[in-house]
Amino acid sequence: MAEIKLGKISTRADKDLDKKKTKEKTAKILEDLNELQNLLYAESKHSLLVVIQGLDASGKDGTVKNVFGSLNPLGVVVKSYKAPTPEELSHDFLWRIHQHAPAKGMIQIFNRSHYEDIVITRVHKWCDDETAKKRMKAINDWEELLTQHNNTHILKFYLHVSPEEQQSRLEERMKDPAKMWKYNENDFEEAKLWDIYMSMYEDCFANCNQPPWNIIPSDQNWYKEYLIADKVYDTLKNFDMKFPGMKAK
């Protein structure tokens, strides 16, 4: 896998890409995705784990809402990971993750994930490099367990925003009444650690790349949502699923 350098990857769509037409494509993809999800749920032979990572204000919540919000809630589960609780800290770092692995027929979405344990923990030096390397191996083994032994496909998305766009969105949370609830004074301090976060994520991409990461330009929500919806659709389509017949008595 080619080395990923985030500084060399654009955070925006190509200038000649038509926004209106792209949004229309996304709407059609989501219609088709709804049918595929019903098929996934009915057949119950495969499962899909969607991992969404990104810095503060990269658009993780919006992605969950706008890409997966129209799907049948019986077949979609969202888990948002925050700072570990005392109980979670008393177990191994994957304990709180593994219990939310998707059952067959389900789409499980991780809004933040086990990758926080090798990114933010290293940024703040709560985890040393030796421990991080051991955790990376554990993550790779766990993801292999899901894919090879439980017929789970894993899609990993990194929402790639520019520092300028992140700053704009953080400031918007101070002005827009509908977004003030998201405001966290500490987010601005975290934004100052941009270069360290980039380095830690790039190391993560290099060492945990099976399944590979999808780097999603995320300065424009309409483009981000199109890319993710399209990838999820293609993935489910390739499962070659069929509705099961009537159950025999």
* Dist CA 27 CA 118 (whole Å): 35
pLDDT tens, position by position, 162-218 = 999 999 999 999 998 888 888 888 999 999 999 999 999 999 999 999 999 999 999
| Residue 85 structural domain | 18-237
48 domain residue, yes or no: yes
223 domain residue, yes or no: yes
207 domain residue, yes or no: yes
What is the crossing angle of helices 60-68 and 221-237, to 10°?
50
User: What pTM value is reported for the model?
Assistant: 0.96
Report the CATH number at residue 108: 3.40.50.300
How high is the pLDDT of residue 5? 97
* Dist CA 85 CA 122 (whole Å): 19
* Dist CA 125 CA 128 (whole Å): 6
Question: Is beta strand 47-54 parallel, antiparallel or unpaired with respect to 152-160?
Answer: parallel
Q: Which residues contact 241 (CB under 8 A, 6 or more apart)?
A: 36, 39, 40, 43, 45, 46
What are the residue ranges in the chain where pLDDT is below 50?
none
46 domain residue, yes or no: yes
Beta bridge partners of 108: 49, 77
79 domain residue, yes or no: yes
* Paired tokens of 228: 């993710």
* Dist CA 108 CA 8 (whole Å): 31
How high is the pLDDT of residue 1? 61
249 domain residue, yes or no: no
62 domain residue, yes or no: yes
Q: Which residues contact 203 (CB under 8 A, 6 or more apart)?
A: none
Indicate the number of domains in the chain. 1
State in Å, rounded, how far the first CA of the chain is from the last one. 50
7 domain residue, yes or no: no
